[in-house]
Amino acid sequence: MSLIGVTGHVHLSEPTEGLIFRAVTAALRECADSPPHGITCLALGADQIFARAIVALGGTFEAVLPSHDYREQVVAAQDRDSFDALLAQASKVLVMPAHCSGRPAYVAASKYMLSRSAMLFAIWDGQPTRSVGDTAHVVSLAEASGLPVKVLWPAGAGRR
Protein backbone atom coordinates (compact mmCIF):
# COMPACT_ATOMS: atom_id res chain seq x y z
CA MET A 1 0.00 0.00 0.00
CA SER A 2 1.53 3.30 -1.14
CA LEU A 3 0.53 6.32 0.90
CA ILE A 4 0.00 9.66 -0.78
CA GLY A 5 0.62 12.65 1.45
CA VAL A 6 -0.92 16.08 1.08
CA THR A 7 -0.02 19.66 1.78
CA GLY A 8 -2.03 22.65 0.76
CA HIS A 9 -3.62 25.94 1.49
CA VAL A 10 -6.03 26.31 4.40
CA HIS A 11 -7.95 29.38 3.27
CA LEU A 12 -9.61 28.51 -0.03
CA SER A 13 -12.48 30.38 -1.62
CA GLU A 14 -15.75 28.45 -1.57
CA PRO A 15 -15.85 27.85 -5.36
CA THR A 16 -12.25 26.64 -5.15
CA GLU A 17 -13.19 23.81 -2.79
CA GLY A 18 -15.22 22.09 -5.52
CA LEU A 19 -12.46 22.63 -8.10
CA ILE A 20 -9.88 21.15 -5.73
CA PHE A 21 -12.09 18.18 -4.85
CA ARG A 22 -12.49 17.32 -8.55
CA ALA A 23 -8.77 17.80 -9.23
CA VAL A 24 -7.74 15.64 -6.26
CA THR A 25 -10.25 12.93 -7.18
CA ALA A 26 -8.94 12.82 -10.76
CA ALA A 27 -5.31 12.77 -9.60
CA LEU A 28 -6.01 9.96 -7.14
CA ARG A 29 -7.61 7.90 -9.89
CA GLU A 30 -4.57 8.53 -12.08
CA CYS A 31 -1.72 8.16 -9.57
CA ALA A 32 -2.88 6.03 -6.69
CA ASP A 33 -3.62 2.47 -5.77
CA SER A 34 -7.24 1.54 -6.15
CA PRO A 35 -8.65 2.16 -3.62
CA PRO A 36 -6.31 5.03 -2.69
CA HIS A 37 -4.50 5.39 0.62
CA GLY A 38 -3.51 8.76 2.01
CA ILE A 39 -1.93 10.48 4.96
CA THR A 40 -2.91 13.96 6.10
CA CYS A 41 -2.68 16.37 9.02
CA LEU A 42 -6.41 17.15 8.49
CA ALA A 43 -5.92 20.91 8.45
CA LEU A 44 -8.87 22.94 7.23
CA GLY A 45 -8.99 23.42 3.47
CA ALA A 46 -6.81 21.27 1.22
CA ASP A 47 -6.07 18.50 3.76
CA GLN A 48 -9.74 17.92 4.55
CA ILE A 49 -10.74 18.06 0.87
CA PHE A 50 -8.06 15.42 0.20
CA ALA A 51 -9.44 13.19 2.97
CA ARG A 52 -13.01 13.52 1.61
CA ALA A 53 -11.81 12.63 -1.90
CA ILE A 54 -10.02 9.53 -0.58
CA VAL A 55 -13.19 8.42 1.22
CA ALA A 56 -15.35 9.15 -1.84
CA LEU A 57 -13.17 6.76 -3.84
CA GLY A 58 -13.51 4.04 -1.22
CA GLY A 59 -10.01 4.52 0.13
CA THR A 60 -8.50 5.01 3.55
CA PHE A 61 -6.37 7.69 5.15
CA GLU A 62 -4.19 8.11 8.20
CA ALA A 63 -4.40 11.30 10.25
CA VAL A 64 -1.34 12.91 11.81
CA LEU A 65 -2.29 15.55 14.36
CA PRO A 66 0.55 18.01 15.03
CA SER A 67 -0.03 18.37 18.78
CA HIS A 68 -2.14 17.28 21.72
CA ASP A 69 -4.04 20.58 21.75
CA TYR A 70 -4.55 20.77 17.97
CA ARG A 71 -8.34 20.32 17.96
CA GLU A 72 -8.97 22.76 20.78
CA GLN A 73 -6.45 25.42 19.76
CA VAL A 74 -6.50 25.30 15.95
CA VAL A 75 -9.83 23.91 14.79
CA ALA A 76 -12.45 26.67 15.05
CA ALA A 77 -15.59 25.79 16.99
CA GLN A 78 -17.75 25.99 13.85
CA ASP A 79 -15.42 23.53 12.05
CA ARG A 80 -15.14 20.90 14.79
CA ASP A 81 -18.09 18.74 13.71
CA SER A 82 -16.66 18.24 10.21
CA PHE A 83 -13.15 17.76 11.64
CA ASP A 84 -14.42 15.17 14.13
CA ALA A 85 -16.37 13.33 11.41
CA LEU A 86 -13.25 13.06 9.24
CA LEU A 87 -11.07 12.08 12.18
CA ALA A 88 -13.53 9.27 12.98
CA GLN A 89 -13.08 7.95 9.43
CA ALA A 90 -9.28 7.76 9.68
CA SER A 91 -7.87 4.24 9.57
CA LYS A 92 -5.14 5.33 11.99
CA VAL A 93 -4.62 8.47 14.08
CA LEU A 94 -1.23 9.57 15.35
CA VAL A 95 -0.90 12.51 17.70
CA MET A 96 2.61 13.93 17.53
CA PRO A 97 4.41 14.44 20.87
CA ALA A 98 4.12 18.25 20.95
CA HIS A 99 1.75 19.51 23.63
CA CYS A 100 1.18 22.91 22.01
CA SER A 101 0.26 23.80 18.44
CA GLY A 102 2.56 26.08 16.50
CA ARG A 103 5.05 26.14 13.65
CA PRO A 104 7.47 23.60 15.20
CA ALA A 105 4.61 21.11 15.69
CA TYR A 106 3.34 21.63 12.13
CA VAL A 107 6.81 21.07 10.69
CA ALA A 108 7.32 17.90 12.74
CA ALA A 109 3.94 16.52 11.64
CA SER A 110 4.66 17.38 8.01
CA LYS A 111 8.08 15.72 8.16
CA TYR A 112 6.52 12.59 9.62
CA MET A 113 3.83 12.60 6.91
CA LEU A 114 6.49 13.02 4.21
CA SER A 115 8.55 10.14 5.66
CA ARG A 116 5.55 7.81 5.24
CA SER A 117 4.55 9.02 1.77
CA ALA A 118 5.40 7.60 -1.65
CA MET A 119 4.21 10.84 -3.29
CA LEU A 120 3.01 14.27 -2.22
CA PHE A 121 -0.02 16.08 -3.59
CA ALA A 122 0.57 19.83 -3.21
CA ILE A 123 -2.63 21.86 -3.43
CA TRP A 124 -0.64 24.99 -3.99
CA ASP A 125 -0.81 28.22 -5.95
CA GLY A 126 2.96 28.21 -6.46
CA GLN A 127 3.65 31.22 -4.24
CA PRO A 128 6.94 31.19 -2.28
CA THR A 129 7.26 30.34 1.39
CA ARG A 130 5.95 32.91 3.83
CA SER A 131 6.64 30.91 6.97
CA VAL A 132 8.17 27.66 8.15
CA GLY A 133 5.65 24.84 7.84
CA ASP A 134 3.52 26.46 5.14
CA THR A 135 2.65 24.75 1.86
CA ALA A 136 5.67 25.98 -0.09
CA HIS A 137 8.00 24.97 2.74
CA VAL A 138 6.56 21.43 2.85
CA VAL A 139 6.92 21.18 -0.94
CA SER A 140 10.59 22.20 -0.63
CA LEU A 141 11.15 19.56 2.06
CA ALA A 142 9.58 16.90 -0.16
CA GLU A 143 11.64 17.93 -3.18
CA ALA A 144 14.85 18.01 -1.13
CA SER A 145 14.21 14.43 -0.04
CA GLY A 146 13.51 13.27 -3.60
CA LEU A 147 9.81 12.63 -2.98
CA PRO A 148 7.70 13.03 -6.13
CA VAL A 149 5.40 16.07 -5.90
CA LYS A 150 2.22 16.55 -7.93
CA VAL A 151 1.04 20.17 -7.81
CA LEU A 152 -2.73 20.60 -8.09
CA TRP A 153 -4.04 24.12 -8.63
CA PRO A 154 -6.86 24.09 -11.18
CA ALA A 155 -7.70 27.08 -13.37
CA GLY A 156 -10.02 29.41 -11.51
CA ALA A 157 -8.80 28.37 -8.05
CA GLY A 158 -8.23 31.08 -5.47
CA ARG A 159 -7.46 31.71 -1.84
CA ARG A 160 -9.38 33.76 0.70
- Tens-binned pLDDT, residue by residue, of the chain (160 aa): 689 999 999 999 889 999 999 999 999 999 877 899 999 999 999 999 999 999 999 999 999 999 999 999 999 999 999 999 999 999 999 999 999 999 999 999 999 999 999 999 999 999 988 888 899 999 999 999 999 999 999 999 989 8
Q: Please tell me the predicted confidence (pLDDT) of residue 33.
A: 74
Class of domain 3-126+144-151: alpha beta
* Neighbour tally for 151: CB within 10 Å: 15
Q: What does the domain layout of the chain look like in residue ranges? A: 3-126+144-151
Cα torsion for 49, 53, 55, 60, to the nearest 10°? -90
Q: Please tell me the predicted confidence (pLDDT) of residue 24.
A: 97
